[in-house]
């Protein structure tokens, strides 16, 4: 079990965002998290990545275990953030060249060995399926890339710090169908090495790529199970209603 | 019913008209000032030619014929103002970065109002403090006969424009979208690394704007500069020379000049040069903001 969440509660100020979450994300599998807007999916991902605590008024109780160790007891916060790679909803191109974008985090934690950084750059761009498109303009500003390319660049940037878990927060919500397809194929490939957690608004996407699906509502986990079972035979009334488009 | 509606339309029209007049007046005011300065100084411009006035370094308005070169003063103004920007830029940027990214909220809550108060202190008070403290300091510690210099004026101007630089740079840093911070910090990099490699490049325009604004303020400042720059008519050869910036020249001599004389007109010419300088800076700033 790569990531194990026990009795996680999260508050932002006086509002409780996550209530008593118990979940496991398995290695080499894609887990999709679906649910209506504002149900705490993003906060859950950011709590696992330990960036939620940057918000004012963040409080949490319970445990998040990575390979059996509670990440909230670790002193090495940046180490945790690197292991729990997080890709945001909006594709972000940092104001640097394409190559510097990819090695942004690696340069910080690995130092300045140029050859090593070049290797990381090429490996991660290839992994993210972007290498062929950008190999001739690595030193051009990353802002010139298209939305889909920027999102793959974001994934490459996260891969460059060698995460064990890849958390993606609606990575395709601002992309066209072609780019979405590329990213979905990429996720399936990456899941052979990593634990992948995918928050999505697109139920078809969950069906297409996820091994397991979790349905969240109002800060709690309503139902979880293998994707096929969840979609064909949901147990709870709320899940059925959501899947048939009654709750959004 | 109908009457009420026409009444309302009338009121609406009236309000629109008032707003239009007021906003038109502010624009017209600027034009009027510029036109007035041009009209008052036109005789000397045409008599001596712009080059002789702007590049000339000999200011003897009462000689016959009067020599009216304001190049010395223009150089002093630029020197004092650029010097102030040079000194305040690193301090101001550092302060802005601290306030925007590192300061705990309670500390920022103290510093921000203090900066606002600093902008409200009358410039004559700054000048007075400078004259009493800075000049004394230079006289005593460097054994100078008189401590005034362009450098002194720059130092006081530094203090005066610092709040503008800090406030404007801070808002430039704050206006960088959250996603950039989130994406970078999620990779486990430090805030310093994030600031240097991501936030500063993204806020570049706003930071430059803060400097340009500070330069405009420093170039136009009169009172403090007048009290500290030394006010000699010699061409400044170093930052530590004495000099008389344009604003000080006008303030010192307008009262004693004979209305309508070449001297009087030349002072208006000096004012026009200063006005054009500041307007150019503001235009540049506007263009910068539009991208």
Would residue B10 count as lying in a domain?
no
Would residue A122 count as lying in a domain?
no
Contact flag A90-B202 (C-beta cutoff 8 Å): no
Q: Looking at residue B84, what is its pLDDT?
A: 94
| 3-class state of residue A219 by DSSP | coil
Would residue B15 count as lying in a domain?
no
Looking at the complex, does the CB of residue B179 fall below 8 Å from at least one CB of chain A?
yes
* CA–CA separation, B239 and B83 (whole Å): 8
Closest to A79 (Cβ–Cβ): which among B183, B186, B188? B188
Contact A87, A205 (CB under 8 A): no
Q: Looking at residue B1, what is its pLDDT?
A: 61
For A65-74, write each residue's pLDDT tens digit.
Answer: 998 889 998 8
Would residue B77 count as lying in a domain?
yes
| 3-class state of residue A166 by DSSP | strand
Would residue B231 count as lying in a domain?
yes
* H helix or E strand, kind and range, residue B93: helix B71-97
Across the strands, what pairs with A25?
A3
Would residue A137 count as lying in a domain?
no
Would residue B44 count as lying in a domain?
no
Would residue A197 count as lying in a domain?
yes
Query: What's the pLDDT band for A22 if we cut at 50, 70, 90?
Result: very high
Is the pLDDT at B47 greater than 60, yes or no? yes
Is the pLDDT at A246 greater than 80, yes or no? no
| 3-class state of residue A84 by DSSP | strand
* CA–CA separation, B260 and B41 (whole Å): 10
* Percent of chain B scoring above 70 in pLDDT: 99
What DSSP character marks residue A211?
S
Helices B262-290 + B71-97 axis angle, to 10: 30
Q: Number of structural domains, chain A?
A: 1
CATH at A32: 3.40.50.300
Q: What's the mean pLDDT when you consider all of chain A? A: 90
* Structure-block tokens of residue B65: 């014929």
Residue with tokens 């050869």: B237
* Reported pTM: 0.83
**Chain B residues whose beta carbon lies within 8 Å of the beta carbon of residue A80:** 188
Query: What's the pLDDT band for B2 if we cut at 50, 70, 90?
Result: low
For B190-222, write each residue's pLDDT tens digit.
Answer: 999 999 999 999 999 999 999 999 999 999 888
Q: Supply the range of the domain harboring residue A195.
A: 3-91+165-243
Would residue B14 count as lying in a domain?
no
CATH at B206: 1.10.3720.10
- The pLDDT of A170-190, averaged and rounded, is 88
Q: Number of structural domains, chain B?
A: 1
Would residue A230 count as lying in a domain?
yes
CA distance A168 to chain B (A): 12
Would residue A36 count as lying in a domain?
yes
Closest to A49 (Cβ–Cβ): which among B180, B186, B201? B186
Is the pLDDT at B252 greater than 80, yes or no? yes
Would residue B43 count as lying in a domain?
no
| 3-class state of residue B15 by DSSP | helix
Q: Looking at residue B154, what is its pLDDT?
A: 94
Is the pLDDT at A1 greater than 70, yes or no? no
Q: Looking at residue A248, what is its pLDDT?
A: 52
For B89-101, write each residue's pLDDT tens digit.
Answer: 999 999 999 999 9
* Percent of chain A scoring above 70 in pLDDT: 98
Contact flag B187-A80 (C-beta cutoff 8 Å): no
Q: Looking at residue A247, what is its pLDDT?
A: 58
Would residue A157 count as lying in a domain?
no
Q: Looking at residue A175, what is its pLDDT?
A: 82
Would residue A198 count as lying in a domain?
yes
Looking at the complex, does the CB of residue B185 fall below 8 Å from at least one CB of chain A?
yes
**Chain A residues whose beta carbon lies within 8 Å of the beta carbon of residue B183:** 88, 92, 94, 154, 157
- The pLDDT of B11-17, averaged and rounded, is 94
* Chain B 223-262, residues with CB within 8 Å of chain A CB atoms: none
Global ipTM: 0.87
Contact flag A79-B186 (C-beta cutoff 8 Å): no
Would residue A51 count as lying in a domain?
yes
For B60-111, write each residue's pLDDT tens digit.
Answer: 888 888 888 899 999 999 999 999 999 999 999 999 999 999 999 899 999 9
Would residue B197 count as lying in a domain?
yes
Is the pLDDT at B263 greater than 60, yes or no? yes
Looking at the complex, does the CB of residue B187 fall below 8 Å from at least one CB of chain A?
yes
Q: Looking at residue A109, what is its pLDDT?
A: 84
């Amino acid at each position: 079990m790569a990531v194990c969440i026990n009795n996680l509660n999260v508050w932002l100020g006086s509002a409780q965002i996550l209530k008593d979450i118990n979940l496991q994300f398995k290695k080499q599998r894609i887990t999709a998290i679906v649910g209506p807007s504002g149900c705490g999916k993003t906060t859950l991902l950011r709590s696992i990545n330990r960036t939620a605590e940057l918000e004012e008024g963040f409080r949490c109780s319970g445990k998040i275990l990575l390979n059996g160790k509670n990440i909230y007891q670790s002193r090495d916060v940046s180490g945790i953030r690197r292991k729990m790679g997080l890709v945001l909803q909006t594709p972000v191109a940092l104001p640097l060249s394409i190559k510097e974008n990819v090695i942004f985090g690696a340069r910080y934690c690995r130092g300045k060995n140029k050859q090593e950084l070049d290797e990381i750059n090429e490996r991660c761009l290839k992994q993210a399926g972007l290498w062929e498109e950008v190999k001739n303009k690595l030193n051009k500003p990353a802002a010139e890339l298209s939305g889909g390319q920027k999102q793959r660049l974001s994934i490459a940037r996260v891969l460059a710090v060698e995460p064990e878990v890849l958390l993606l927060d609606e990575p395709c919500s601002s992309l066209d169908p072609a780019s979405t397809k590329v990213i979905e194929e990429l996720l399936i490939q990456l899941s052979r090495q990593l634990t992948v957690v995918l928050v999505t608004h697109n139920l078809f996407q969950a069906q297409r790529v996820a091994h397991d699906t979790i349905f969240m509502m109002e800060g709690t986990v309503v139902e979880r199970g293998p994707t096929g079972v969840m979609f064909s035979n949901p147990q709870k009334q709320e899940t059925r209603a959501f899947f048939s488009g009654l709750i959004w | 019913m109908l009457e009420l509606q026409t009444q309302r339309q009338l009121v609406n029209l009236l309000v629109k008209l008032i707003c239009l007049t007021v906003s038109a007046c502010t624009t017209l005011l600027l034009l009027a000032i510029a036109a007035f300065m041009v009209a008052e100084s036109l005789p000397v411009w045409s008599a001596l030619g712009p080059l002789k006035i702007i590049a000339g370094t000999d200011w003897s308005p009462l000689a016959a014929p009067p020599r009216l070169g304001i190049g010395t003063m223009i150089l002093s103004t630029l020197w004092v103002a650029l010097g102030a920007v040079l000194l305040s830029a690193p301090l101001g940027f550092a302060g802005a970065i601290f306030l925007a990214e590192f300061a705990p909220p309670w500390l920022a809550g103290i510093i921000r109002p203090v900066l606002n108060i600093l902008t409200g202190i009358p410039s004559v008070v700054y000048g007075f403090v400078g004259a009493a403290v800075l000049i004394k300091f230079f006289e005593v510690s460097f054994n100078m006969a008189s401590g005034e210099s362009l450098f002194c004026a720059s130092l006081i101007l530094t203090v005066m424009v610092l709040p503008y630089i800090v406030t404007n740079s801070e808002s430039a840093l704050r206006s960088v979208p959250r996603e950039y911070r989130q994406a970078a910090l999620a990779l486990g990099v430090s805030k310093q690394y994030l600031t240097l490699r991501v936030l500063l490049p993204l806020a570049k325009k706003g930071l430059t704007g803060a400097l340009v604004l500070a330069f405009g303020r420093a170039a136009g400042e009169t009172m403090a500069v007048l009290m500290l720059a030394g006010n000699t008519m010699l061409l400044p050869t170093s930052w530590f020379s004495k000099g008389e910036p344009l604003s000080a020249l006008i303030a010192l001599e307008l009262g004693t000049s004979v209305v309508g004389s070449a001297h009087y007109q030349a002072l208006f010419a000096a004012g026009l040069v200063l006005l054009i300088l500041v307007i150019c800076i503001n235009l540049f700033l506007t263009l910068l903001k539009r991208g």
